[in-house]
Chain A
Amino acid sequence: MKQIVMLSGKGGTGKTSITASLARVATEPKVIVDADVDAANMAILLPGDDEQWRPFFAGTRAVIDYEACINCMTCVWECPFKAIRESKDFRPVVDEFDCEGCGVCSQVCPTNAFSFKPHQAGTWTVRDTKWGPLVHAALNVGEDNSGKLVAQVRQEGRAQAAKTGADYVLIDGPPGIGCPVHAALGGTDLVIAVTEPGVSAQHDLNRLLDLAGWFKIPAAIILNKADLDPKAAQNLLKTAEEKGAKVVAKIPFMPEVPMALSKGIPLIEVPGMQEILGNCWQEIKELV
């Protein structure tokens, strides 16, 4: 069983749409994991029935026992995240949005008025789709540490792969290069960077390939909107070659694409896409 993660660095390159399309084009048994949990979109593209949503807990939040509290306000001064504030009725109140559960308040409280409760950061589930199980999740707005949820959906993805005998786990990864991307990258067999011609994407591709190198994972590239700027496209291809990343597809820019996507029509139904993506999948299989 091989795990393939799709990343993009910069947003808007078409990563999620392409991942969903590869899931449709590939005939082998597979599991799809939407690890882009900050703004999960895969479920919009791959319809099916969801199992019951399960809560996801990460971290804790401070809780004040007002029977024990003597309103000394030490916690207000000492909270490193300014998450405890004095209310209009002169009591300290914890802002659960800003609280990080670090426990400093409890350390400084003279009357032991603090306890910590588990915090629900989001929800996740498995959806039964025509193209394989889709493990997807949603992080509540403003939540930090989607790294743990990424690990959770990936773990369920592996479990589903074992259950269904899938050959591949296709992971839609988050944008950027920070913490959630590390959780999406670790332990995969191939990174596919979805990029597009342009100075922004070029800049971001460099950083993404460096990150893949740091994790010692082989990388490949899908060049989307390839004909938007031939010179910039050439630069991207040169970067790919220099950093040892194989190009598995070059997709031309087509205005029919955003049109189709906005209507919920799958990418592979746009003329020409089935072939391009079919070839792309063949290339990917050879690399893992």
Chain B
Amino acid sequence: MRIAIASGKGGTGKTLIATSLAVHWAKQGKAVTYVDADVEEPNGHLFLRPTFEKTTRHTVPVPRLAGFCDGCAKCQDACAFNAIIALKERVQVFDELCHSCGACVKACPHNSLKLQPRELGDLRHGMARNINFIDGLLDVGEARATPLIEGVVEAADGELVIIDSPPGASCPAVTAIRGADIAVLITEPTLFGVHDLDLAVQVCQKLNVPPIIVLNRANLGGDMMDAIKATGAPLVAQIDFDPQISVATARGELAIDVVPGFADAIANIAKAIVVSEVVS
């Protein structure tokens, strides 16, 4: 089962819950894979502290000139993203704009362009507390996270795959949630939290991934129950704000290890996920 842990708004507790679920299921002897798909700001490793066993440089294909060029600019005209421009007898490629579609390669009348791999970040595999750990670290200055997010999500396999997704409702979140069997949306009882939750639910609907909702810091805010209900996705669990959780998290400790009661809260969420997946 592939489970995406997502949210519309950042900072709602995705990583806290995703890492805790991984620990919970690993303790039960399940084969768990935790994937940190937030490649721009990965934090899972700070809590699970994996021993990294293999780090590869993840690449994307980009066009390179490998033949004759007469500056005809057909490649430039074919590119929808302004990623390649024709100069006198050569081309200039802007890798950060390239979507690796290959239109320029097809357009070159001399067959001179070839797609070659370009590195954009690290893809890391490791082990932590009997959990298979995968994350990605996008190189600073890289404009597009999506290809690396695809890479880490594709690399993940196993009985239970937990995908710790980036926040938001645009391309990076979509890439992480796509293909999951279920999405667990973490929200908080604030105007922002619920507004963004609605967007996240819409993303799940567009991707045909059934969403369920977990309300974090449930006691620290207004009454958002009607607004949550209005999104159309079921609320399956709540976690109250506990300063011990915040302090543990700020210290890089796992709340499930040190905060009494939190393990039970996570067990409830785990059960809700399994039940919901069976139902849908």
Interface residues in chain A, defined as those with a beta carbon under 8 Å from any beta carbon in chain B: 8-13, 16, 38-39, 41, 44, 59-60, 80-81, 97, 100-104, 107-108, 139, 141-147, 174-179, 182, 196-200, 203-204, 207, 210-211, 214, 228-229, 232, 255, 258-259, 261-264
The distance in angstroms between the C-alpha atoms of A198 and B13, with both chains bound, is 14
Which one of B101, B196, B222 contacts A102 once the chains associate, using CB atoms below 8 Å? B101
Distance (Å) between the CB of B195 and the closest chain A CB? Answer: 6
CB of A258 within 8 A of CB of B220, answer yes
> Which residues of B have CB within 8 Å of A198?
249-252
**Distance between B167 CB and nearest chain A CB, rounded to angstroms:** 5
Q: How many residues of B contact A (CB 8 A)?
A: 60
Interface majority SS (helix, strand, loop, mixed), chain A: loop
Whole-angstrom distance between the alpha carbons of A19 and B192 in the complex? 14
A-B contact pairs, 24 of them (CB 8 A): A8-B10, A11-B9, A11-B12, A11-B167, A16-B192, A41-B9, A101-B80, A107-B107, A142-B203, A176-B145, A177-B41, A196-B250, A198-B249, A199-B46, A199-B251, A204-B41, A211-B141, A228-B247, A232-B250, A255-B220, A259-B220, A261-B190, A261-B192, A262-B224
What CA separation (Å) do A139 and B8 show in the bound complex? 13
CB <8 Å contact, A175 and B10 = yes
* Residue in B99, B190, B196 whose CB lies within 8 Å of A100: B99
Interface pairs A-B: 7 shortest CB-CB: A12-B11, A11-B10, A262-B221, A102-B101, A198-B250, A199-B252, A262-B222
Q: How far is the CA of A38 from the CA of B46 in the complex (A)?
A: 26
Per the 8 Å Cβ criterion, residues 109-153 of B in contact with A are 138, 140-146
Docked Cα-Cα span, A263 to B193, in Å, equals: 12
Contacts A44-B191, A178-B138, A200-B15 given; indicate if A39 touches B101 (C-beta within 8 A): no
| B195/A41 in contact, CB under 8 A | yes
- With A39-B9, A197-B250 in contact, is A103–B103 under 8 Å at CB? yes
20 additional A-B residue pairs with CB within 8 Å, beyond A108-B106, A258-B220: A8-B10, A10-B43, A38-B170, A41-B9, A59-B80, A100-B80, A101-B80, A104-B102, A142-B169, A144-B170, A176-B166, A177-B140, A198-B251, A199-B250, A199-B252, A229-B247, A258-B190, A259-B221, A261-B192, A262-B189
